[in-house]
Amino acid sequence: MNAKRIQSNEFLLAVEGLTVSFDGFKAVDDLSFYLDPNEIRVIIGPNGAGKTTVLDLICGKTRASGGSIRFKGRELTKMREHQIVHAGVGRKFQNPSVFEDLSVFENLEVSYPRGHTVMGALAFKRDSAVEEAIEEVAETIFLSEMLNEPAASLSHGQKQWLEIGMLLIQKPELLMLDEPVAGMSVAERKKTAELLKVITTRHTVLVIEHDMQFVENIADRVTVMHQGKVISEGSIEHVKADPKVVEVYLGH
Ligand SMILES: Nc1ncnc2c1ncn2[C@@H]1O[C@H](COP(=O)(O)OP(=O)(O)OP(=O)(O)O)[C@@H](O)[C@H]1O
């Protein structure tokens, strides 16, 4: 028990024995995995494997029935969603939810960690530190030239990048992304892979993705889920060669 606790503190995120049941159905079943700082981990697996539910549990949207989620040694399963954000965990959902009527600059500005409402955040006087942070993030997400454009005018891929930027400006240590390249062009997918590699120089990234080409481009390690459990884990080469993974996922 003691040894486990000490070990868990060395990981950025330690998920142990995580379980959640919906009406008796275990969507996540005694799941354990560990994230090192600055790695890109990709969770893959067939539809209904429980991947999105794992992200819901980590960000506090869904309550665990059992097990633990320790982030930098702090237990997340008892915390509320806003406390988990405050602790340094950011989550992007599959569909972009940017403010269409605001400019790219304003979208990043309202996401800057101060103020609690859009109007309240905009009422703050802009200072050079905020502008600098916005410009730095805009460059990272390939939108420096679009700062004054309304978000509504961006392509689907650019909206996805803006939403990643809206997370980055809050400086979360762990970023969780659910199918970030869904609906993107080939060129946008390549740029998103570059973006994630830059991001992991400062952050840890946990991604759910079905696009295996993209997974091969970005993953340090891959965790394969099936029926709420981890069935394989390791390098992309390792999991691709694992007969269990081929049987339930890659062979289809
Ligand atoms: N709130 C909920 N109430 C009841 N059942 C749920 C709930 N959330 C998820 N489930 C069920 O849990 C299972 C796992 O769903 P989840 O969305 O986590 O899978 P997934 O691996 O992300 O699948 P996909 O690749 O299709 O997104 C599914 O059978 C789903 O119907």
Q: What is the pLDDT of residues 88-122, one digit of tens each?
A: 999 987 666 899 999 999 999 998 887 455 555 55
Q: Are 151 and 159 in contact (CB under 8 A)?
A: yes
Ligand 1 atom nearest residue 46's Cα: 25
124 lines ligand 1 (CB under 6 A): no
- Domain of residue 224, CATH code: 3.40.50.300
Q: Could you tell me the two tokens for 143?
A: 């939108």
Asked whether residue 188 is domain-assigned, the answer is yes
| Nearest atom of ligand 1 to the alpha carbon of 22 | 4
In short, whether 44's Cβ falls inside 6 Å of ligand 1 is no
Q: Nearest Cα to 199, choosing from 134, 129, 132, 141? A: 141
Mean pLDDT (10-residue bins), the chain, 252 residues: 46 96 94 95 96 96 96 94 94 82 95 65 67 94 96 94 94 94 92 94 94 92 96 95 91 74
Q: What is the pLDDT of residue 1?
A: 36
Residue 122 lies in a domain: no
Report which residue type is found at 99.
F
Atom of ligand 1 nearest to the CA of 210: 25
ipTM for the predicted complex: 0.94
Domain for residue 149, yes or no?
no
Q: Rg (Cα) of the chain, in Å, rounded?
A: 19
User: For the chain, how many structural domains are there in total?
Assistant: 1
Q: How far apart, in Å, are the Cα atoms of 167 and each of 96, 110, 156, 223?
A: 12, 11, 17, 23
Helices 104-111 and 156-168, interaxial angle, to 10°? Answer: 30
- In this structure, the residue with its CA closest to atom 30 of ligand 1 is 48
Which pTM was predicted? 0.89
Asked if residues 89 and 58 have their Cβ atoms less than 8 Å apart, the reply is yes
Q: Which domain holds residue 167?
A: 37-60+80-98+154-250
